[in-house]
Amino acid sequence: MRSLAGLALAWIATGAAAGCGPSPDPCEAAGGTYHIALPQTVASPVPAVVFLHGHGGSGEGVLRMREMVTAFTTAGYAVIAPDGAPRPNGTRSWSFRGDLATRDDFTFLPAVLADAADRFDLDTERSVLAGFSSGAFMVNYLACKTPEAFAAYLPVAGGFWRPMPESCTGPVRLYHSHGWRDGTVPLEGRILGNGRFIQGDIWAGFDLWRQAMGCRSPAPEQAWQEGDLMLREWHCGAKAELRVELFLGGHMVPEGWAERVITWLKAPTTASSSTE
């Protein structure tokens, strides 16, 4: 295994935006490919943020989100950007619904983290799963099915589809960000494909998460405002934390999102009276 320091220096020297560490080609994992950007720190092992692109995107495109990637790598995180599996029309996306599955992403994504951890000496115990839009739907479904796969989950502009899961396996740490004016994934959901697909109500998804976390009250423990951001938070026990961030924009990753989730990830978790 190459040293993390050597890989990081090679990445900085080449200025590569995407690839397998210093290599311009993506990493090969069981079932697909991924790209990775390494932190500039030489400390190891380091945690990773596995970030899933939206419908039609790519892992290479994720690593072109320079501000986000730089925020994470500066904070000591590797950024792993897997490629969604192509649909029959060639568009890449994620198989969170069985009727749309072209690959078992519930197996593929943990395998990507394991492969990257072996190659680059990453800390799987502190690594998290994030995603935008279609990628955020995948984040929610994987968190619901196998909450232990990642240390925390960071969906942006995506929740569940109808019919929603009846329940989730267990508690998670989850930070959900959503645009108040999102017209692609509205907070209340929408109908697609002449009724074939129905995006679920994001608010109903929060209720599903509170049940999985064992929260006794639907009311948040905290509700506050930071500039244009509206935030609500539930602490419902060990590894049972839900933060909801609403911003004024539409279907997008909001400015400063990475810095905010980094602060949240590094904050100590505490149980609260919402479980009592």
Q: Is the pLDDT of residue 158 over 80?
A: yes
The token duo for 87 is: 């649909």
Burial 33-70 (b: 16+ CB within 10 A, else e): bbbbbbbeeeeebbbbbbbbbbbebbbbbbbebeebbe
- Give the span between the Cα atoms of 151 and 124, in whole angstroms: 8
The packing angle between helices 134-145 and 202-213, to 10°, is: 20
Q: What is the topology classification, in CATH, of domain 4-275?
A: Rossmann fold (3.40.50)
- Give the span between the Cα atoms of 70 and 39, in whole angstroms: 8
Ordered by start, the domain boundaries in the chain are 4-275
In angstroms, the Cα distances linking 258 to 64, 175, 202, 249 are 14, 11, 21, 16
Write the pLDDT tens digit of every residue in 91-148. 899 999 876 668 999 999 999 999 999 999 999 999 999 999 999 999 999 999 999 9
The token duo for 27 is: 């990493």
Q: Which of 20-29, 30-39, 75-84 has the lowest mean pLDDT?
A: 20-29
- Average pLDDT score, the chain: 89
Written as one string, the DSSP assignment of 163-177 is SPPS--SS--EEEEE
Write the pLDDT tens digit of every residue in 177-220. 999 999 999 999 999 988 888 999 999 999 999 999 999 999 99
